[in-house]
A and B are shown apart, each in its own frame.
Chain A
């Protein structure tokens, strides 16, 4: 027998699927800010935030929305090395593949970009940019100086490195968009909207305000952590539903299950 919680569990599989994008007050604001920044004659834009604050999905969404209006390219995974990155960039700029045994002449590439000024406007969305080294970032900046290529650099650093990273890029970047963890209200809307999108109305209804408060407390409003927690909650519910139905209340997700999930994920400890 298939449990009702199985579908709910799948809703919270962590992915950067544009179909799963949920319009929230904060994310709509960030999207609009990014869209507006792209219209400005800026060379580099920094999209900054902790892991799980929705940077990747925002880049995906902007690419999806603007791909028919602008020449916009999304580099999801960072290149292993400089050679690979410039090969990738060369293909975007020239629509031609380079043989793997050839190196891109950087000066020639800069010159090529300068020649494109006024003719084309290319937007490169660089996800996980913290993986690129300082030298590489300098070269990216030089390319952006051509004004033909605009870079949206998305990066995150953990805890103490946050500020350093921000400062490092801020001197080279013209605009910074910071994404933050969700508020309790935003997170509640996120969870409900995600479930309703899959017609899981009853399950959405079974998560009450108090549960949302607890979920927010454990995840601190982080979307990735929220997905992980909700996935685990529904996994436990699914188990009970199939094996010990007396322990699951269809009208209300018991706090015990939320706390068990938090224990499982290490948010709380015995």
Chain B
């Protein structure tokens, strides 16, 4: 009878070696699944979007910290009742949000930033038409994938902010076919957005379809009586566009 213990040890090593490809295949499969999940969600979350989100979050926290002394100044400088103070705070927040919206942030892409509980209450009271999220637009970007990401996102969510952004961006870039397309997509979701209508008409003009553009705009002016639309119609009819 030979020594069985070394043989058992040898067999354990053999089993490990035999199972190695299985472990590798398992690990590979998990990596594959993770990659699939990652890429399937990549139209919603990207690294850039995440980094932008965290940057904005940092700024928001910093702004909130700045607010504290202001608040105390208000509290100490004036004798104010609570509703009045709330109105002051709301005004400050509107200004901040508007500043954020108009500021150029070249590296950013569209990011939905969740609102903290306390802020949400305040903002919902400010105005009903204001959305419960802050929308950061790309003003300038050369990143093609960023546009693709937004396009993909629109296809899933049908968020007019996305389509309007695309229409606006493509128009600025001089890609009038695409701006016309995205303005139309916006209009399909919500026909009451004037900006999309104007981009649509302007894109048609740029594409050389003057009569078509004029007819659409005339029709729109009749139905909406929009001053902006009237101005644009005037410019078109007088050859100033």
A residues in contact (CB < 8 Å) with B: 235-236, 238-240, 243, 256, 259-260, 263-264, 268-270
Q: Are A260 and B13 interface neighbours, CB within 8 A?
A: no
The 10 closest A-B pairs by CB, nearest first: A270-B13, A260-B11, A270-B14, A260-B7, A263-B10, A239-B4, A239-B1, A270-B10, A259-B11, A263-B11
Establish whether residues A270 and B1, one from each chain, have CB atoms under 8 Å apart when the complex forms: no
Q: Which residues of B are at the interface with A, using a C-beta cutoff of 8 A?
A: 1-2, 4, 7-8, 10-11, 13-15, 17
Task: Provide the bound-state CA to CA distance between A25 and B17, in Å.
Answer: 38
Q: Is the CB of A259 within 8 A of B14?
A: yes
Contact of B14 with A264 in the complex, beta carbons under 8 Å: no
Contact B10 A235 (CB under 8 A): no
Asked if A264 and B7 make an inter-chain contact with CB atoms under 8 angstroms apart, the answer reads yes
Within the assembled complex, what's the spacing in Å between the Cα atoms of A243 and B5? 12
Main secondary structure of the interface of B (DSSP, over half): helix
The reply to whether B17 and A270 form a contact with Cβ atoms under 8 Å apart is: yes
Asked whether A236 lies within 8 Å of B14 as measured between CB atoms, the reply is no
- Given A239-B4, A269-B14, 19 more A-B residue pairs with CB atoms under 8 Å apart are A236-B4, A236-B7, A238-B1, A239-B1, A256-B11, A259-B11, A259-B15, A260-B7, A260-B10, A260-B11, A263-B7, A263-B11, A263-B14, A264-B2, A264-B7, A268-B14, A270-B10, A270-B13, A270-B14
Q: What chain A residues lie within 8 Å of B1 (beta carbons)?
A: 235, 238-239
A-B contact count (CB 8 A): 28
How far is A243 from B3 in the complex, measured between Cα atoms in Å?
12
Q: Which residues of B contact A268 (CB under 8 A)?
A: 14
Residues of B within 8 A of A263 (CB): 7, 10-11, 14
Bound together, the chains give a CA A238 to CA B4 distance in angstroms of 11
Nearest CB of chain B from residue A248's CB, rounded to whole Å: 12
Chain A residue contacts of B8, Cβ below 8 A: 260
**Which residues of chain B have C-beta atoms less than 8 A from A260's C-beta?**
7-8, 10-11
The complex places the Cα of A264 from the Cα of B14 at a distance, in Å, of 12
Q: Which residue of A lies closest to B1 (CB)?
A: A239
How distant is A109 from chain B, measured CB to nearest CB, in Å? 51
B209, chain A: closest CB distance, angstroms: 75
**Shortest distance between the CB of A45 and any CB in chain B (Å):** 42
Instruction: Determine the distance from Cα of A268 to Cα of B14 in the docked complex, in whole angstroms.
Output: 8
Smallest CB separation, A183 vs chain B (Å): 25
Name the distance in Å between B9's Cβ and chain A's nearest Cβ. Answer: 9
Complex: A19 Cα to B83 Cα, angstroms:
110
21 residue pairs A–B, Cβ–Cβ below 8 Å: A235-B1, A236-B4, A236-B7, A238-B1, A239-B4, A240-B4, A256-B11, A259-B15, A260-B7, A260-B8, A260-B10, A260-B11, A263-B7, A263-B10, A263-B11, A263-B14, A264-B2, A268-B14, A270-B10, A270-B13, A270-B14
* Cα separation A235 to B8 with both chains bound (whole Å): 14
In whole angstroms, how far apart are the Cα atoms of A268 and B10 in the complex?
Answer: 11
Please give, as numbers and ranges, the residues of chain A lying within 8 Å of B17 by CB-CB distance. 270
Residue in A closest to B13 when the chains form the complex, CB atoms: A270
Q: Give the shortest distance, in Å, between A238 (CB) and chain B (any CB).
A: 8
Question: Across the interface, which residues of A come within 8 angstroms of B10, CB to CB?
Answer: 260, 263, 270
Closest beta carbon of chain B to A135's beta carbon, Å: 45
Nearest chain A residue, comparing its CB with the CB of B7 = A260
Nearest-Cβ distance from residue A229 to partner chain B, whole angstroms: 14
CA distance A118 to B4 in the complex (A): 63
Q: Closest approach, in angstroms, between the C-beta of A259 and any C-beta of chain B?
A: 6
* Shortest distance between the CB of B14 and any CB in chain A (Å): 5
A246 to B133, CA, bound (A): 67
CB neighbours (8 Å) of A235 from chain B are 1
Chain A residues near B2 (CB-CB < 8 A): 264
Complex formed: what's the CA distance from A256 to B4 in Å? 13
Nearest residue (CB) in A for B3 is A239
Bound: A269/B11 CA distance, A: 9
**A235 CA / B7 CA spacing, docked (Å):** 13
Q: Compute how far the CA of A240 lies from the CA of B11 in the bound complex, rounded to whole angstroms.
A: 15
Q: In the complex, what residue of chain B is closest to A256 when comparing beta carbons? A: B11
